[in-house]
Amino acid sequence: MRTIALEEHFTHPDMAVYSANTATIAEPRVWEDAVRHLLDFTELRIPAMDAAGLDMQVLSLNAPGIQAEKDTNVAIKRATFMNDTLAEAIGRNPDRFSGFAALPTQDPMAAANELERAVVELGLKGGVVNAHTHGKYLDDPSFRVLWERMVDLDVPLYLHPANGVDLPHVLSGHPELVGPMWSWGNDTASHVLRCVFGGVFDDFPEAKLMVGHMGEGLPYTLWRLDSRWSWHFHHGIKLKREKPSDYIRHNLYITTSGVCDNAPLQCALSAMGADHVLFSTDYPFEDLPTATSFLRDAPVSDEVRAKIAHGNAERLLKL
């Protein structure tokens, strides 16, 4: 069974300046080992893919990526360089790698232009954004130019987690809750809901947003979102569609990255439909064979397994 994974990370020595915060999440030796795998495209990665039966990785620059750069001009130059570097790596192994473009969201028009260059000239398949950009989220009106370009190019945006702009008070004194174990998923799910209630998908009904980690909890919440939206005072917020879940089912695609557990998979399939669930591993942060055997052994029909493993990715990314 052809198997394609969509949240697969790499990095470059120039990006080390941004990773100080993320590095503190892990023990130094664990982090060093992750960086060794992130910097490599072939010696460690391809044998690991072969051993796990993974045909293709759709690569993206590791979090926090370009979003962490404070200087807009540096962000634009660096995103261009990273996308060129990624395209070269893909060009050396085009049947094993594909990629999402890093976007200099510090300047939304530059991000739209870089997405277009990366898709049209470099053959990348969409964009990746890591959480906020200095406190700005993708529902900010300034980002409509980026959504518009995505829809024109018919490519998805992968929203990957990173640390929030500040520490939510409820997490104060609990640094162990900050990071991929807990805070990142909450932050990303909230970011998706900002896009829903911020009218992004009313303005761009065909926009395609992707999140990992089995949907960052969202598939579990749909009924309650709808029920409470119909009860709440809406503070003047209006949606064109009746229910919040209409947007999540239509505009959101989720990947299995970093979650190898049948219960949330069944929930995701039931809530989102099999056309909206795609395979991922979250390399190098999760174990590749664990992820591929989870997919192979999941109690789903072979038709659904094929959609998750490759069919949905082939359709959405035109692979």
Kindly list the residues in this chain that would bind Zn ion in the complex (CB under 5 A). 7, 282
Tell me if the bond preceding 47 is cis, omega within 30° of 0. Answer: no
> Which of Zn ion, ligand GRE, none has residue 22 at its interface (CB below 5 to 8 Å by kind)?
ligand GRE
- Nearest approach in angstroms of CB 180 to ligand GRE is 4
Nearer to ligand GRE, 63 or 159 (CB): 63
Assign 63 to helix, strand or coil.
coil
d(CA 222, CA 48): 36
Alpha helices in the chain (DSSP H): 20-23, 28-39, 45-52, 72-92, 108-120, 144-153, 183-197, 200-203, 218-229, 244-251, 262-272, 288-297, 302-306, 312-317
CA dihedral (258, 263, 264, 269) positive or negative: positive
Nearer to Zn ion, 69 or 282 (CB): 282
Nearer to Zn ion, 15 or 110 (CB): 15
d(CA 283, CA 6): 10
Q: Of 136, 66, 129, which Cα lies nearest the Cα of 100? A: 129
Nearer to Zn ion, 61 or 304 (CB): 61
How many Cβ atoms sit within 10 Å of the Cβ of residue 295? 22
- How distant, in Å, are the alpha carbons of 310, 312, 314 from that of 274? 12, 9, 14
Selected catalytic residue, list 139, 246, 282, 287: 282
Binding footprint of ligand GRE on the chain (CB under 6 A): 9, 22, 25, 62-63, 180, 258, 282, 285
> Which of ligand GRE, Zn ion, none has residue 180 at its interface (CB below 5 to 8 Å by kind)?
ligand GRE
> Which of Zn ion, ligand GRE, none has residue 8 at its interface (CB below 5 to 8 Å by kind)?
none
Q: Residue 11: left (phi > 0), alpha (psi -120 to 50), or beta?
A: beta
Nearer to ligand GRE, 29 or 238 (CB): 29
> Which of Zn ion, ligand GRE, none has residue 37 at its interface (CB below 5 to 8 Å by kind)?
none
> Which of Zn ion, ligand GRE, none has residue 229 at its interface (CB below 5 to 8 Å by kind)?
none
- Nearest approach in angstroms of CB 41 to ligand GRE is 17
Assign 204 to helix, strand or coil.
coil
Catalytic residue at 282?
Answer: yes
Q: Which residues are catalytic?
A: 282
